[in-house]
Amino acid sequence: MWSDTAIPDLAGKVALVTGGNAGIGLQTVKQLALHGAKVYLGARSESRAKQAIDSILSEYQTINKEHIIWLPLDLSKPSNIVEAARLLSSWENRLDILINNAGIAAEDFTTTAEGFEFTIAVNHIGHFVLTTNLLPLLKETASQVGSDVRVVTISSSAERFAPKHNVFATAKDLCDPGTTNPNDYTSRKTVFSRYGASKLANILFTRELQRRLDQEEVKIIALTLDPGPVATDGGMGVFPGFLKPVLKLVMKSPEKGALNQLFCATAKEVANEPHTYKGKFLSAPGKINPGSERSRNSELAQSLWRITEEALRTAGIS
């Protein structure tokens, strides 16, 4: 079974992990830094980010303190994301690993200033804006001899809960992705539907990103994955509060939950067999999962990309 001991030497590589201040994101930052990478921890809160960084550095004094850096990043605000990408691109001349890890499951139906439903705004649109704005830096890194550039986006098997009526045909599908019944916005079923729509979007985004990269003959591998049930606030966000103490007993620890994305981001197997892993959805380290029929629909993936671009243009975000 693949473990963090199989992570190769990452010295000289630069990585960005969104939501790196807690849960599996924190474990991912820790392992990347332990193996030599310079890691940017993307988070909204400076105090939480610095607390997370201090906890890693105090636990592992072998890590160079210059190798874990907070990147101010609010995935619910596209203009903030564009600025974060610009900032990182001004600080670094390379980016080898981008891990779109952050995720939420908003219990209430709320929308962002641009009118996007909050769950899909953070889980899909925020990472779309971040990735597309970092593509020039990622492509520049990929053009270098011996490069191994990867974009890893966290999805979930909950993608199967995405409502059937949402076919990502218009920008409206990003404003209310989970229900057409205004009296049912906060039911547990609808929370799952909204979350499922965002997780389906993560897989479709990855497939379409890989198709575009391959079309341009860019040497970047895009993967998506299900970390499995993990005992973190984010991992249990879709469940009612009374179940959480019980779920914590049966769910994976954050350390184990981070292994699948660490495999996707670092494993030699991926670099050695790119055509096996490109654009794929993994349910465990090395285990490719076909996902739902809709998650494999290339026309749906292209439509999602198109409406996301259109919605961002309308909002004045590029």
- pLDDT tens for the chain, 318 residues long, are 899 999 999 999 999 999 999 999 999 999 999 999 999 999 999 999 999 999 999 999 999 999 999 999 999 999 999 999 999 999 999 999 999 999 999 888 899 999 999 999 999 999 999 999 999 999 999 999 999 999 999 999 999 999 988 899 999 999 987 655 555 555 678 888 999 999 999 999 999 999 999 999 999 999 999 998 765 555 545 555 655 555 554 556 878 999 999 999 999 999 999 999 999 999 999 999 999 999 999 999 999 999 999 999 999 987
| CA–CA distances in Å: residue 21 to residues 67, 195, 237 | 15, 21, 17
Active-site residue flag, 195:
yes
Is 125 within 8 Å of 83 (Cβ atoms)?
Answer: no
Q: Which residues, in sequence order, are bridge partners of residue 14?
A: 38
Burial class (CB in 10 A: 0-12, 13-18, 19+), 106: buried
User: Going along 226-308, which residue ranges are E strands?
Assistant: 281-284, 287-289
Q: Which residue, 277, 288, 286, 219, is CA-closest to 6? A: 286
Active site residue: 40, 60, 185, 195, which one? 195
- Predicted local confidence at residue 176, as pLDDT: 82
**Cα–Cα distance between 56 and 208 in angstroms, integer?**
35
pTM over 0.85: yes
CATH superfamily placement of domain 4-314:
NAD(P)-binding Rossmann-like Domain (3.40.50.720)
Contact 29, 5 (CB under 8 A): no
pLDDT of residue 249: 47
pLDDT given at position 230? 60
Give every CB contact of residue 225 below 8 A, 6+ residues apart in sequence: 152, 153, 154, 155, 260, 261, 264, 281, 282, 283
- Read off the tokens for 184: 């049912």
Residue 25 to residue 5: CA distance in whole angstroms: 18
Closest of 84, 209, 196 to residue 150, by C-alpha: 209
Q: What pLDDT, on a 0 to 100 scale, did the predictor assign at position 177?
A: 77
The CA–CA distances, whole Å, from 219 to 61, 92, 130, 142 equal 35, 19, 19, 6
